[in-house]
Amino acid sequence: MEEKKVSFVAKVGKITESDCSGVGRMALEDIQVDGEFFRDHTWIRLNRQINNLNLKRGDMISGTAKLFAYQDIEDKNREKYGLKKLRNLSKGDGKAQLQV
């Protein structure tokens, strides 16, 4: 699958402090991509743009991202899909999605 730019809305889940790599992570839950259910959760790395939103568990976040496929570590014959290169992020109730 070729990477595709999408709009997304998600609820902020658990936020972890920096790990051994020096980068924290955040779980996005109940993710919708282009208005349709995408995944129940995915983990993303924190960056300055995300940190500047001062998010806490339960907040809604929306923006654009690239959708990409990767191999499931438990089943090598299965692909999973994730989000990367999150951009145009905003904190809010998730009622309005950004147009791509």
pLDDT in tens, 37-74: 999 999 998 988 998 999 999 999 999 999 988 888 88
Pick from 55-64, 76-85, 90-99 the range whose average pLDDT is largest.
55-64
pLDDT > 90? residue 18: no
User: What share of residues in the chain are helix, strand, coil (percent, to 5)?
Assistant: 5, 60, 40
What tokens does 100 get? 């791509």
77: which DSSP letter?
Answer: T
Complete domains list, the chain, with CATH: 4-92 (2.40.50)
Q: What is the pTM of this model?
A: 0.79
The whole-number average pLDDT for the span 5-32 is 89
pLDDT given at position 99? 40
